[in-house]
Structure 1
């Protein structure tokens, strides 16, 4: 089979297009013909060596959509999608023609999504699902999402499905205007010390949940937090350090929720995606737009593109 593979880390040039033997599924596993595979920032960081537990050589790639060609009879021929902590890190991933996973680690692909659309959603939607679930977002919850990348947009859409009151904060005025056209309340981020006042102007008493998808607004977010509020984070500065105003946080009874999609195996992610998929097929979630498809042979160039921040909706097609 054709695959992208790296045998060392630290440089994207380590990624090569290679021919590998077709994988053989073990008992209780499925063999998937990959129709499309999402390219996430975590895949790029994996090749760059940010995940020391990755075993080498390794085929990267977490998200996928495809067709089961071997496995339990009830799954053979079915269109499936998925993600998880194993592919790309502890076993070969989805940036290949074929992929093996436990049969419990795949969900049936929503009929409303193309293979490319489904492959672009795994990490963003499972991450957003986990953040909202563990931050107790429900009907009427006042939610601020900082950043509108793939995870931020997934969180906005899922929060609306849950009946939350949703506000999004972005850096650029044109981003805010585009989000308003999609029906969201949006504000433009100013100086960090102004964030609390900006949030309070929309949500009297502050936001009950703040989801910082950028890694840079945790200290500033405390001022915009409601009593007993929760701040969910998925990223941090490169050195991992922030100056947290602990006094202001505990005076509000606030808490910080760390959200890490790599805590969930493919089976746990499949259960999340089953519900997300129902929402898509029921028309409660908007279909993804602007997904960029590229052949596997352009893998190195596309990895560099995602690393530069030029695009966050890239799907590789074997």
Structure 2
């Protein structure tokens, strides 16, 4: 089994895409750019900066080209674009995305709801995207297995199907593979088991876990996957996000909550938590509502409070 011996937990930020895609309030292009630039300064090595989907399907991200053109690209940071099809891939490549993220659901029903096509058609489209991406030197490819831990329409997903899809991605020439708990149906024992199986076919350096906190198990699932050998995890600032085509889906695991947990446990992330919290505290004004993240509200354990005057007199 291929394992990454490093202790570092690598957090990949997805708020600018997965976080903003379901927001009812339009976030101005310059504000998206400022958010990404702020995240670039926090120590991330990979930021999902936007998507190139139909503006009719995801109107909140219709300014993908302008966002990619406007960001200040920090050295060592990979700026990722989600693409649904060949047309989206062509737009992303023209906008100079560093990596393309493809998505297909393990659930046939969810894939038809989310991508408007069968899984077979999705894979056929991937082959063409891989071909045109290979012509653009230096552009990376990642493919996500959505609903890998459960589907809101079909229920439990056969683990062998998930393993088979991950293996197929690699055989097609896709380097990175993401297992996504699209609606937060995973539990830690299930995560540990499936991650261990997938790591027999995908190196830890190429495997990402994408968890949602829909049922309050997000951080527990992170630790279960980390214990099984996974080292890369998607997270969204403030816990923003959710799949617009998955009933009951709520936000992604919260970036600053993950980083805080790691800091408290002595697991290195390379992320500046204090700067991250300050950025997260700007989100309510940006999106027009409170966000789910806990650490930005409560502060770090080391952020002590003044002793009340009445205590001094006792």
**TM-score normalised over the length of structure 2:** 0.29
Structure with the larger helix share:
2
Structure with the larger strand share:
1
**TM-score normalised over the length of structure 1:** 0.29
